[in-house]
């Protein structure tokens, strides 16, 4: 068998201190180097366990390993989206423009209404999870998803344009248990250019 590719932790597109005061250096560093890294390691470990079992003809608990793969790959993919849909204050924040603004107005009526629904989705995730903005290619309509854990309530193949991590590990250093304060702060560091770029890739 050829050498198989594994997952790797991506570099952040900014420095650890660059999202302050909305996200502290300590919070972002732990989140990226410990939590995200753990999903990368977990996905690779599961893949390697499967590879070894295939190579050596061993039995493997397929259900358990696939569950582990889904959780860890989901975590890796969503965190990568998350880092890129944020930008230092000044470059991030404000309001979307262009086609993204048009799509938001068409679906939600206004940016304010979208922001409120997305915040509500983030605030009401049971336990750990994400709020996500996606575009359904079948209808061309924007959809808000409320993802539980990293992999529950995800619509298969539906392209995600923007995510907000509301696992406690995403905000506990800065905001303790106040998820609402963290969700509010997120709007000051959204990288709308990146979200619009992703929309353009789907719309073509
Ligand atoms: Mn996270």
Give the structural domain span for 30: 25-84
Quote the ligand 1 centre to 69 CA distance (angstroms): 16
Residue 27 has pLDDT above 70, yes or no: yes
Quote the ligand 1 centre to 114 CA distance (angstroms): 23
Q: What is the pLDDT of residue 4?
A: 83
Q: Which helix H or strand E contains 23, and what residues bound it?
A: none
115 and 197 part of one domain: yes
Residue 157 has pLDDT above 60, yes or no: yes
65 and 159 part of one domain: no
Quote the ligand 1 centre to 155 CA distance (angstroms): 20
Q: What is the pLDDT of residue 173?
A: 98
- Asked whether residue 161 is domain-assigned, the answer is yes
154 and 127 part of one domain: yes
- Asked whether residue 108 is domain-assigned, the answer is yes
Q: What is the pLDDT of residue 63?
A: 96
- Asked whether residue 34 is domain-assigned, the answer is yes
φ, ψ of residue 133 to 5 degrees: the values are: -105, 125
Quote the ligand 1 centre to 54 CA distance (angstroms): 32
109 and 197 part of one domain: yes
Residue 116 has pLDDT above 80, yes or no: yes
Quote the ligand 1 centre to 181 CA distance (angstroms): 17
- Asked whether residue 47 is domain-assigned, the answer is yes
149 and 66 part of one domain: no
Give the residue with greater pLDDT, 135 vs 2: 135
Beta bridge partners of 134: 143, 160
113 and 171 part of one domain: yes
Q: Are 199 and 191 in contact (CB under 8 A)?
A: no
- The pLDDT-based confidence of 2 (bands split at 50, 70, 90) is low
116 and 175 part of one domain: yes
Residue 121 has pLDDT above 90, yes or no: yes
pTM recorded for the entire structure: 0.96
Which DSSP string do the residues of 154-177 spell out, in sequence order? PPTTPPEEEEEE-SGGGTHHHHTT
Listed residue (167, 170, 127, 121) closest to 142, CA to CA? 121
- The pLDDT-based confidence of 3 (bands split at 50, 70, 90) is low
Listed residue (20, 26, 13) closest to 191, CA to CA? 13
Quote the ligand 1 centre to 53 CA distance (angstroms): 30
Buried b / exposed e along 5-34 (16+ C-beta atoms within 10 A): eebebeebebebebbbebbbeebbebbbee
Q: What is the pLDDT of residue 204?
A: 87
68 and 143 part of one domain: no
Q: Are 77 and 163 in contact (CB under 8 A)?
A: no
Q: What is the pLDDT of residue 109?
A: 98
CATH number of 71's domain: 1.10.287.990
The last residue of one of the domains, among 17, 49, 84, is: 84
Q: What is the pLDDT of residue 155?
A: 87
Sign, Cα dihedral of 35, 93, 172, 112: negative
CA dist 119 → 23, 153, 160 (Å):
17, 17, 16
Quote the ligand 1 centre to 183 CA distance (angstroms): 14
The pLDDT tens digits of the residues spanning 13-22 come to 999 999 999 9
Q: Are 86 and 191 in contact (CB under 8 A)?
A: yes
Quote the ligand 1 centre to 128 CA distance (angstroms): 9
- Asked whether residue 14 is domain-assigned, the answer is no
Residue 1 has pLDDT above 70, yes or no: no
Quote the ligand 1 centre to 55 CA distance (angstroms): 33
- The pLDDT-based confidence of 107 (bands split at 50, 70, 90) is very high
Average pLDDT over residues 2-11: 89
Residue 103 has pLDDT above 70, yes or no: yes
Quote the ligand 1 centre to 109 CA distance (angstroms): 30
Listed residue (179, 144, 180, 182) closest to 162, CA to CA? 144
Quote the ligand 1 centre to 98 CA distance (angstroms): 29
The number of domains in the chain is 2
Quote the ligand 1 centre to 153 CA distance (angstroms): 17
Average pLDDT over residues 54-81: 97
Mean pLDDT computed over every residue of the chain: 96
Q: Which long-range contacts (CB under 8 A, 24 or more apart) does 49-58 make?
A: 51/1, 51/4, 55/1
Q: What is the pLDDT of residue 156?
A: 86
Quote the ligand 1 centre to 143 CA distance (angstroms): 22
């Amino acid at each position: 068998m050829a050498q198989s590719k594994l997952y790797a932790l991506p570099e952040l597109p900014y420095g650890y201190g660059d999202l302050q005061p909305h996200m502290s250096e300590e919070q972002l560093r732990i989140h990226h180097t410990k939590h995200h890294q753990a999903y990368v390691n977990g996905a690779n470990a599961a893949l390697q366990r499967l590879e070894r079992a295939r190579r050596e003809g061993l039995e493997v608990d397929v259900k358990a390993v696939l569950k582990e793969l889904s959780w860890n790959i989901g975590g890796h993919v969503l965190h990568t989206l998350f880092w890129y849909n944020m930008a230092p204050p000044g470059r991030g924040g404000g309001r979307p423009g262009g086609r993204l603004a048009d799509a938001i107005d068409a679906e939600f009526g206004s940016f304010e209404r979208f922001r409120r629904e997305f915040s509500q989705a983030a605030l009401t995730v049971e336990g750990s999870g994400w709020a996500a903005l996606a575009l359904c290619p079948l209808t061309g309509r924007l959809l808000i998803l409320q993802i539980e854990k990293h992999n529950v309530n995800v619509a298969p193949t539906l392209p995600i344009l923007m995510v907000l991590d509301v696992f406690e590990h995403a905000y506990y250093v800065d905001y303790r248990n106040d998820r609402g304060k963290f969700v509010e702060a997120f709007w000051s560091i959204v990288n709308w250019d990146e979200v619009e770029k992703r929309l353009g890739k789907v719309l073509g």
